[in-house]
């Protein structure tokens, strides 16, 4: 009896098409959290931050020196009396004609003054206590920070959807915001399946049984999720049985927004994840035209999203960065989902064009070009540690030394 013909493999999908479809499922989470500005780094704003005041609130000095009325300084070397002293945090009086005011950085500029002369450009007058000699004639407006030049009253200083940075927290604080409304953290359940997996610390390297491997993916996936502001439940390694897999999926779906796994999503592979997800919900298996990282799965278990990443560590790592990262950011309502590539020069040859879009692990060198990691295998995790980014290389594209390529830095992809 002839064997039944094998089912045809699904066609490869472009990364852009797969990402576009994936993002249609990422509806931003409902609700928001009130969070101390001190603790909001990395979170996504759930509402605009609007200033109720202007910054600076009034014209102030950007230097330690002397506030002057520039039109009253006819020549360099003029000697003028110091009529008042204005430290930061105090308010001076109007400048007396023909005098200067000693002023310090951040102090309000007195009425009647239109410039500040740095203290380095002034000197005390010997024998005339309380007088200074002005060695430089200033231009009107010199060393004065104008009221509202940083922030205007009523201005939106941070828009809804912005992912907060340390500088953004400082800006929010500068307009008096001690609490910010931020998007809910995505609740993510992370687990692994496979009887071959062993946790570091459970078995010494020299005692590993044949076929066993340490579970490295679990470590970097958890770290990536935390960097993206997720609330992570590490469900460990689920026994390689259908009943255990079903129990884990049910438990995860009940209290999480996303279930994330790695391994077991290649076409034709026998495992318990695929039939278990299909039994409890729905599952689409995609073959994406990227290298590394071709197999990818998206589905639903109850109300929870399910994403299955490839098992090879670099494939899992890169697929997370280009697909899961923007998905999680959209769940938080972020306005900026993608990283803009930087054009840099390749200091190597890549003569083997691939049919798939490639993400080549590279590192910037001392001359500003890019060096290539020698082994681009999907199982060589050292390439992602040695490198500081990847080249996004189009399908069918070779690279010659000196070519300009599109570089995606890990510093942006991992933030």
φ and ψ at residue 374, rounded to 5 degrees: -65, -40
Give me 358's structure tokens. Answer: 């490639």
Q: What does the pLDDT read at residue 8?
A: 63
CB 326 within 8 A of CB 337: yes
Q: What is the predicted pLDDT for the residue at 266? A: 59
Every domain of the chain with CATH number 3.40.980.10 lies at 15-30+185-331
Nearest CA to 393 out of 291, 313, 288 is that of 291
Q: What does the pLDDT read at residue 215?
A: 76
As a whole number of angstroms, the distance between CA 185 and CA 15 comes to 26
CB 328 within 8 A of CB 334: no
113: closest CA among 56, 54, 65, 57?
65
Q: Give one DSSP letter per residue of 252-317, joined into a string.
A: HHHH-SEEEEES--STT---SHHHHHHHHEEEEEEEBSEES--EEEEEEETTEEEEEE-SSHHHHH
- Per the structure block, which two tokens stand in for 388? 């500081």
Delimiting residues of CATH 3.90.105.10 domain(s) in the chain: 37-53+151-183
Spell out the residues 6+ positions from residue 353 whose beta carbon is closer than 8 angstroms to its own.
Answer: 395, 396, 397, 398
Q: What is the pLDDT of residue 204?
A: 80
Q: Minimal CA–CA distance to 362: which of 349, 353, 354, 371?
A: 371
Those residues of the chain that have pLDDT short of 70 are: 1-10, 195, 264-271
Task: From the options 1.20.1440.230, 3.20.20.80, 2.170.190.11, 1.10.230.10, give the CATH code of 60-145.
Answer: 2.170.190.11
Residue 1 has a pLDDT of 47
Burial class from Cβ neighbours inside 10 Å (0-12, 13-18, 19+) for residue 352 reads exposed
Residue 293 CA to residue 310 CA, distance in Å, equals 6
Tokens 């687990």 correspond to 191
As a whole number of angstroms, the distance between CA 270 and CA 246 comes to 16
Specify the pLDDT at position 11: 79
pLDDT at position 2 is 56
Domain with CATH 2.170.190.11 in the chain: 60-145
β-pairing verdict for 187-193 and 231-238? parallel
Domain with CATH 2.40.340.10 in the chain: 342-413
**CATH number for the domain running over 15-30+185-331:** 3.40.980.10
Query: pTM of the predicted model, to two decimals?
Result: 0.86
Q: Looking at residue 263, what is its pLDDT?
A: 79
* Cβ atoms 102, 116 nearer than 8 A: no
Taking only the tens place, the pLDDT of each residue in 234-292 is 988 887 788 888 999 999 999 999 999 987 665 545 467 888 999 999 999 899 999 99
Quote the pLDDT of residue 381.
93
Q: What is the CATH number of domain 342-413?
A: 2.40.340.10
CB 112 within 8 A of CB 69: yes
∠ CA 228-232-233, nearest 5°, is 165
Name the one residue in this structure whose structure tokens are 């007195």: 110
CA 117 to chain centre: 41
* Token duo for residue 180: 């910010």
Are the C-beta atoms of 311 and 262 separated by less than 8 Å?
yes
CB atoms within 10 A of CB 395: 16
d(CA 319, CA 297): 11
**pLDDT score at 72:** 87
Residues sharing a CB contact under 8 Å with residue 19, sequence separation 6 or more, in sequence order: 322, 323, 326
Looking at the domain that runs over 37-53+151-183, which CATH code has it been given? 3.90.105.10
């Amino acid at each position: 009896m002839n064997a039944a013909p094998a089912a045809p493999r699904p066609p490869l999908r472009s990364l852009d098409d797969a990402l576009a479809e994936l993002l249609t499922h990422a509806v931003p989470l409902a609700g928001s959290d009130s969070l101390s500005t001190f603790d909001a780094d990395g979170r996504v704003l759930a509402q605009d931050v609007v200033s109720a005041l202007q910054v600076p609130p009034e014209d102030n000095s950007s230097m330690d020196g002397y506030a002057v009325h520039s039109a009253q300084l006819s020549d360099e070397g003029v000697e003028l009396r110091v009529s008042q002293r204005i430290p930061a945090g105090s308010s001076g009086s109007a400048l007396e004609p023909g005098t200067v005011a000693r002023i310090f950085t951040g102090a309000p500029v007195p009425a009647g003054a239109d410039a500040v002369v740095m203290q380095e450009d002034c000197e005390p007058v010997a024998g005339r206590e309380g007088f200074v000699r002005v060695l430089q004639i200033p231009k009107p407006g010199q060393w004065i920070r104008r009221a509202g030049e940083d922030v205007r009253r009523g201005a939106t200083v941070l828009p809804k959807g912005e992912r907060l940075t340390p500088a953004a927290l400082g800006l929010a604080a500068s307009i008096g915001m001690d609490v910010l409304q931020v998007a809910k953290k995505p609740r993510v359940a992370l687990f692994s399946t496979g009887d071959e997996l062993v946790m570091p610390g459970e078995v010494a390297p020299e005692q590993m049984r044949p076929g066993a491997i340490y579970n490295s993916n679990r470590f970097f996936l958890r770290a990536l999720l935390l960097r993206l502001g997720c609330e992570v439940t590490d469900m460990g390694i689920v026994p390689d049985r259908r009943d255990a897999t079903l129990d884990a999926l049910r438990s995860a779906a009940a209290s999480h927004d996303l279930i994330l796994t790695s391994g077991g999503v290649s076409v034709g592979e026998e495992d318990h994840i695929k039939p278990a997800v299909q039994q409890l919900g729905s599952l689409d298996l995609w073959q994406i035209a990227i290298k590394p990282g071709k197999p990818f799965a998206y589905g639903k278990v109850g109300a929870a999203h399910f994403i299955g990443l490839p098992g090879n560590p670099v494939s899992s790592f890169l697929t997370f960065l280009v697909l899961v990262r923007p998905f999680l950011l959209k769940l938080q309502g972020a306005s900026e989902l993608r990283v803009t590539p930087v054009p840099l020069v390749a200091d190597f040859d890549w003569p083997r064009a691939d049919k798939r879009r490639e993400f080549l692990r590279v590192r910037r060198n001392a001359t500003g070009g890019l060096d290539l990691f020698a082994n681009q295998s999907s199982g060589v995790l050292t390439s992602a540690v040695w490198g500081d980014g990847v080249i996004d290389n189009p399908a069918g594209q070779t690279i010659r030394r000196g070519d300009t390529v599109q570089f995606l830095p890990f510093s942006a992809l991992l933030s």
